Structure 1
Amino acid sequence: MNAQPFIDAGVKYTPHYFQVPLNYANPDQGSIEVFARELSLVADGDSAKPFLVYFQGGPGFPSPRQNGCNGWVKRALQQYRVLLLDQRGTGNSTVISHQTLAPLSPQEQADYLAHFRADNIVRDAEFIREKLGVEKWAILGQSFGGFCSLTYLSLFPESLSRSYITGGVPSISRHPDDVYQATFKRTMDKNQAFFQQFPQAQQMCQRIAEHLLENDEFLPNGQRFTVEQFQQLGINFGMSDTFLPTYYLLENAFVEINGKTQLRYEFLNSMLMEQSFHTNPIYAILHESIYCQGFASNWSAHRVRQTRDEFNYQSGKPFLFTGEMVFPWMFDQYENLKPLKQAAELLAEKQDWTPLYNADVLANNKVPVSCAMYADDMFVEMDISRETLGTIPNAKAWITNEYEHNGLRADGERILDTLIAMGEQTAATLK
């Protein structure tokens, strides 16, 4: 594709398209396209500022479409050119969706999708670095992007000058069961905080849940709406300032039509808009595999949930929201995931996942790594993150309870500024 650069609000946006191997271990299997958008200040002209590559959270979401010189990008552009990478399968890269996967058999779908994890995302970035003729660059990873950052530090540390991570330091060895044991506890904490602030919301939620058990309600895409889907609204509790908007949704859930109670179209449409799995199936189908190295996930979150019966709603029991978890029933209920059910089962049972991290390389790390860890993070457990950082030299953590998981979006300029300063301090000690 031949897209042209453009300028907006003093920032030049330059598109780049790259043909990369689908499978770096066997390039004969064909290629896919990967898109990256370069941002630079118009005032800089042709100056050769170093690059900062951004790895988006997810998995399965494209880089942000920047609108204005603001947030973390504003701080980054003071000393970097920014490269916003649409990770393979997302955005303007060769996309993965229920549409593009439809011609493939379930086994072909699973085999194809197995090449879309962090290791190959990082190999794509390394391919791009070489194509651009860059000796070293810095990386910024948010959430799952932080997982990609540790993979990059494992595979190609000599290509990195700095690593900045926000809300995304994973375990490099633990099974996902450990992760979900921790995140279910955090999710319970968020539920308790929400219902403590809005006690009346518990009755509202139970009323909605009971209505869904007794009546068929359908989302605007024709999908039957269920209690389990409603519970997934709790994923928002991992972000800042979401309690009050959630309450507003609940208090306007119902409408009376000819004496019959039903869910309002506005409410049902809002519920559909919350289901990003329809447009970003990687987020569902590869979610648990981001933790897997030489073992299968076997629907880890589902199995852990069965040990936490309070999250399985029944009439007369308190209602609880769930969080950032993927469950097998989703591939029976979500319209755009139904065609991927068999592939999802194959990937959940897959044991021969390649390593994502190299503990020996990380134990000898020489790249300054600066991390923002959020003490109350609902998605990435702080204690597990600290455990990992304890094995990586030249890695520093800023632990704060000022932010939720979306800190980079909420106050990115300050957060990146803090991480850059930390990186400079670490670099000074290495000289």
Structure 2
Amino acid sequence: MTQAQAFINDGVHYLPHYFTVPLNYRDTNQGTLTLFAREVRLAGDELSHKPWLVYFQGGPGFPAQRPNGHGGWLKRALQDYRVLLLDQRGTGHSSVISHQTLAPLTATQQAEYLSHFRADNIVRDAEFIRQQFAVEQWAILGQSFGGFCSLTYLSLFPQSLLRSYITGGVPSICRPADDVYRATFKRTMDKNQAFFRQFPQAQSLCQAIADHLIDHEEFLPNGQLFTVEQFQQIGINFGMSDSFIATYYQLENAFIEVSGQPQLRYEFLNTMLSEQGFQTNPIYAILHESIYCQGNASNWSAHRVRNEWAAFNYQKGQPFYFTGEMVFPWMFEQYTNLKPLQQAAEILAAKTDWPTLYNAEQLANNTVPVSCAVYADDMFVEMDFSRETLAGIPNANAWITNEYEHNGLRADGERILDKLIAMGEQTAAMLKPLC
């Protein structure tokens, strides 16, 4: 397999690093994984003593971004840090998980293997790298699920951390998945109502598409039968800024007439397939609910909670509503690349012995400056739960704002990280002992 190479682009130096880490840190006889991380620094910084900043990507199940170092949050970060973009285990160049790589395993083997790809082991991977680099302490930046990883890091290895920056990713450390999905379904309904207020004609367009899918078979370019439930899932985009108008344009472009009969346009169907990140990044589907599990099973939490919201179960003649980032058991019956993982998904949904991810006692004694951007209208991470968590973590400060959606770091990362860095320095100054 071709490995990434070092290169310089526009004054920024990109250097690849590969590591061999245990699949299971508690039993190192269970095999190893290849881990990839990309170092990013300003050209000419080779001899500087800037501290490290490790970036934890959102997800779960997605690799670190492949950036241009002169834009967004990375531009600001490189002023103070050398940055490490970690491809979390199972993603990017890090022993990738896909329907292809899991195919040789039985369902039981798939479930056992996948159980080692949560935040606890992602953090242990980062700690392994820190030790390999002989770095005493480094800073971390967690976006979305990366913020969940950050709190796990603060729980397990706080002595290794210089600063922690979190954007749109302060989870509840104790609430069950059902609480999370009750909150996020409500937020998703709020976003639906806002969308249909802005584009009232979109409701009839959505109903026309949904009714057509009920009455006719339409297939995506990969040969997969397209369904109403799949169509609803593009509502995940409502958690991002500027998504309403882009969604409306897609709806406008849905139909074409062929021999006097309406069909869904190939362009529309191709766009719908491109929205299905589950096909290429199955960790997101198969482990999504487990990120909320500590000693308990999810038992398809979102699917059960959805039944409390009849409006999301579309029927002809009723209003149409999109769903959000939730995952459901039917996905493993419908999505082409998830079908081979159905049995493993059922095993993991029933798994009750998930290890704990957070140490509330350790967090209650936190001395690491933690700076957080908490988005008041976040569709994926409930603000009230974030505030609840932060109330129990000393030296953690939140900038609560309605200026951004969940993707604030992508939309205006330079400003957001600049503010978080300043907050962290202020906290650190307060922690310094008086002479």
Following TM superposition, by how much is the alpha carbon of 1:217 offset from its aligned partner in structure 2, in angstroms? 0.1
Separation of aligned partners in 2, 1:316 and 1:98: 38
Q: Which residue of 1 is the match for residue 347 of structure 2?
A: 346
Q: Which residue of 2 is the match for residue 138 of structure 1?
A: 139
| Deviation readout 1:130-177 (Å, 9 max, x if unpaired) | 001110000000000000000000000000000000000001110000
**Residue type of the alignment partner of 2:114:** L
Q: Which residue of 1 is the match for residue 45 of structure 2?
A: 44
Separation of aligned partners in 2, 1:355 and 1:37: 29
Identity of aligned residues (%): 77
- Structure 1 residue 323 and structure 2 residue 338: aligned? no
Separation of aligned partners in 2, 1:269 and 1:370: 40
- Structure 1 residue 249 and structure 2 residue 253: aligned? no
Q: What is the number of equivalent residue pairs in this alignment?
A: 431
Following TM superposition, by how much is the alpha carbon of 1:48 offset from its aligned partner in structure 2, in angstroms? 2.1
| Deviation readout 1:82-125 (Å, 9 max, x if unpaired) | 00000000001100000000000000000000000000000000
For normalisation by structure 1, the TM-score amounts to 0.99
Separation of aligned partners in 2, 1:159 and 1:223: 47
Following TM superposition, by how much is the alpha carbon of 1:241 offset from its aligned partner in structure 2, in angstroms? 0.2
Separation of aligned partners in 1, 2:284 and 2:417: 26
Q: Which residue of 2 is the match for residue 271 of structure 1?
A: 272
Q: Which residue of 2 is the match for residue 189 of structure 1?
A: 190
Q: Which residue of 1 is the match for residue 379 of structure 2?
A: 378
Q: Which residue of 2 is the match for residue 122 of structure 1?
A: 123
Following TM superposition, by how much is the alpha carbon of 1:2 offset from its aligned partner in structure 2, in angstroms? 5.7
Following TM superposition, by how much is the alpha carbon of 1:68 offset from its aligned partner in structure 2, in angstroms? 4.0
| Deviation readout 1:216-266 (Å, 9 max, x if unpaired) | 000000000000000001000000001001000001100001111100000
Q: Which residue of 2 is the match for residue 155 of structure 1?
A: 156
| Deviation readout 1:265-285 (Å, 9 max, x if unpaired) | 000000000000000000000
Separation of aligned partners in 1, 2:68 and 2:165: 22
Q: Which residue of 2 is the match for residue 220 of structure 1?
A: 221
Separation of aligned partners in 2, 1:43 and 1:238: 39
Following TM superposition, by how much is the alpha carbon of 1:67 offset from its aligned partner in structure 2, in angstroms? 2.2
Separation of aligned partners in 2, 1:316 and 1:378: 27
| Deviation readout 1:46-86 (Å, 9 max, x if unpaired) | 21211000000000000000124110000000010000000
* Long gaps (5+) in structure 2: none
- SS for the counterpart of 1:217 is coil
**Residue type of the alignment partner of 2:413:** G
- SS for the counterpart of 1:153 is helix
* Long gaps (5+) in structure 1: none
| Deviation readout 1:194-223 (Å, 9 max, x if unpaired) | 000000000000000000000000000000
- SS for the counterpart of 2:278 is coil
**Residue type of the alignment partner of 2:91:** T
For normalisation by structure 2, the TM-score amounts to 0.98
Separation of aligned partners in 2, 1:415 and 1:242: 20
- Structure 1 residue 314 and structure 2 residue 320: aligned? no
Following TM superposition, by how much is the alpha carbon of 1:3 offset from its aligned partner in structure 2, in angstroms? 4.2
| Deviation readout 1:321-377 (Å, 9 max, x if unpaired) | 000100000000000000000000000000000000000000000000000000000
- SS for the counterpart of 1:164 is strand
Q: Which residue of 2 is the match for residue 23 of structure 1?
A: 24
Match runs of 1:362-377 below 5 Å: 362-377=363-378
Separation of aligned partners in 1, 2:314 and 2:116: 36
Separation of aligned partners in 1, 2:297 and 2:43: 48
- SS for the counterpart of 1:75 is helix
Q: Which residue of 2 is the match for residue 34 of structure 1?
A: 35
- SS for the counterpart of 1:78 is helix
- SS for the counterpart of 2:16 is strand
Separation of aligned partners in 1, 2:112 and 2:394: 36
Separation of aligned partners in 2, 1:162 and 1:68: 21
- SS for the counterpart of 1:120 is helix
Moved more, 240-249 or 37-46: 37-46
**Residue type of the alignment partner of 1:105:** T
Separation of aligned partners in 2, 1:2 and 1:218: 36
- SS for the counterpart of 2:279 is coil
Q: Which residue of 2 is the match for residue 422 of structure 1?
A: 423
- SS for the counterpart of 1:93 is coil
- SS for the counterpart of 1:323 is coil
